[in-house]
Each structure stands twice: as C-alpha cells, then as structure tokens.
Amino acid sequence: MSNDFQRRLIAEFRANGGALGGRFEGWPLAVLTTTGARTGRSREVILGFLEIDGNGVVVASANGADRNPAWYHNIRRNPRVTVETGDETYPAMAAIPRGAEYEKLFARVVAEAPGYGEYQARATREIPVVVLHRIDKRGKGMGDWLVEVHQWFRDELRALRDQADRLADGSATALVWPKPDLAQEMRAHCLGFCAALRRHHTGEDSAVFPALAGQFPALAPVLQQLSGQHQEVARLQESIRELVDGFVPGESDPVRLRTELERLASELEAHFAFEEQAVVTALNATAAAPPTA
C-alpha cells in the first residue's frame, strides 16, 4: 500500500470515527503509531484490527509479502505505540508472542479472519502477530509487584546495616560487648536475606527476563546488562557471607563488615532503580501481579 494511499485512508478513518467505505467497508481497522526504527520519527499505519482476550491484535502480514512490514521492525526496536480504534485512542506496549503462545494466537486470528491464513500459506516467512497491551487502564501488574519486592529488600538491608552498626558500637565501647547472640542474630538474618535475594535474581534470570526478551526484543540488551549486575551482587553477597560467618565479637573488625554492607546497599539500589526503569512498564502491561497469600 503506497504511503499516499495510507495517508488518505487514515484521514478518512479519522473523519468517520474509524469507518471506511469502498473495499474496506465493514472492516475492523486501527491506526497504529510507532516510532521509526531508523528515523526515530512518529510513523502511522492503518491495519486490520482484532480483539482477542481483551487485547488489540494486529498481524504483520504485509498482504502476504516476503518481508515483514516497516511497522513491525519499529516495534521490535521500540514497543511503545499508540492505538486508534475509531472509538478510542490509547497507549500500548506491543508484544510479540513466541512459540506455543504464538501458535495458539495465530490459530485464533485465522479463525476470526481467515484471510490471514491465506497470506501465511503464500508467504515464505512466519507471519508475526502482535498483541497491543494497553497501559493506561489496568489493575495491579507484575511490575508494581516487582517494585514491592525490591522495597522489601531495601528495608531488610537497612535493618541489616542497623544490626551491623550495633555490632560496631558494641565492640568500640566494651570488650565483652557485643554479646555473642548479637553476632549470631546477624548471621541468621544475613543468611535469610541473601537466600531470598539469590532466589529473586535466579527467578529473573531464568524466567522473567527470557519471557520479556522474547516478547519485547528491544529490551534484550538491557536485560543482559541486568543479569550481569546480578553476578556482581552475588560476588558482594559472598564476601559479606564470609565476613559474617567468620565474625568473632571483640576480635573481628565490624567496620569492614559495615563497609561491605554499604557497598552492597548502593550496588543493589542502583540495580533496582535501573531494573525498575527498564522493565516495570513491560511487566505491568503483560502480566497481573501474583495473588497475595
């Protein structure tokens, strides 16, 4: 479809509340605004539009051509889009389902609009399907939940640092202080915190991040960076564990432990902030928060 023709159709679509005449009469359509992968400029395209399980769905069929359309390349680079259905206009995250999820969705698409099956039969590529998750209307999402989990880690780490402060103060004021059970408490607390943090990062590396990278290719490089940070944090945790394990009240240097905890806190804060900025929108758009026990 030529650009000129596209422009005319989009103007007609907007003038008539989403309805087109002629050979497009009665077709459910939407205008999708993406950001040009090369130009960074706003790009509009009018597409066949389906609604499946409450989400808008568009198909990168390009009328069965052998190459994916430009708008599809754009959303691979930047998934933030605007959707105009004629009734309403909303911001969305454009996700690309993979594997079994794709197969299931494509079958649903073909069941509703058999023309896409004909395009697929003709094309030499697998025709991608894109799910438009609106981001303006939603309940509590997985991203919100992630922020809460991070907050729990922040609070726990603050408590650990307070404990280390008490250890340090105690050693400075009296030889018999801190009491051995204070060091013991610290050890137990540290162990619990570190195990929880390891589980959190393992879950991200093995499940959350691969799922996100599949659906939002634009996120892949930043997710790799985040996994690298998990390794950094794991090294710091290991050094703290050694310090805490070998801590003898009255003998060991509590300042060193305190310094290492401070390093972990700032490293972790930077990691959480970067992670939240990178993935919260995509997580909120694609998954609801897990039910609270």
**Nearer residue to Fe ion within complex by CB, 84 or 275:** 275
Q: Rounded to an integer, what distance in angstroms lies between the CA atom of residue 106 and that of residue 115?
A: 12
Q: Could you give the string, one character per residue 189-208, with x where binding to Fe ion holds by CB under 5 A and - elsewhere?
A: ---------------x----
Instruction: List Cβ<8 Å contacts ≥24 apart for 269-275.
Output: 269/154, 270/229, 271/226, 271/229, 271/230, 271/232, 271/233, 272/150, 272/153, 272/154, 274/225, 274/226, 274/229, 275/146, 275/150, 275/204, 275/226
C-beta of residue 45 within 8 angstroms of C-beta of residue 68: no
Q: Which stretches within 57-141 are classed as H helix?
A: 70-77, 99-112, 115-122
The site map against Fe ion for 171-190 (x = CB under 5 A) is --------------------
| Residue placing its CB nearer to Fe ion in the complex, 260 or 275 | 275
**What is the smallest separation between the CB atom of 222 and Fe ion, expressed in angstroms?**
11
| Contact yes or no for 52/109 (Cβ under 8 A) | yes
Q: What minimum distance in Å lies between the beta carbon of 273 and Fe ion?
A: 11
Least separation in angstroms between CB 236 and Fe ion = 14
Residue 197: CB minimum distance to Fe ion, A: 9
In the complex with Fe ion, the residue whose CB is nearer, 185 or 205, is: 205
Alpha-carbon distances of 217 from 82, 97, 230, rounded to whole Å: 18, 11, 21
| Identity of the residue, 200 or 258, whose beta carbon is nearer to Fe ion in the bound complex | 200
Report the site for Fe ion in 266-285 (rule: CB under 5 A): 275
Residues 123-162, mask of contacts with Fe ion (x by CB under 5 A):
----------------------------------------
Q: How far is the CB of 149 from Fe ion (least distance, A)?
A: 7
Task: State the residues that interact with Fe ion by CB under 5 A.
Answer: 204, 275
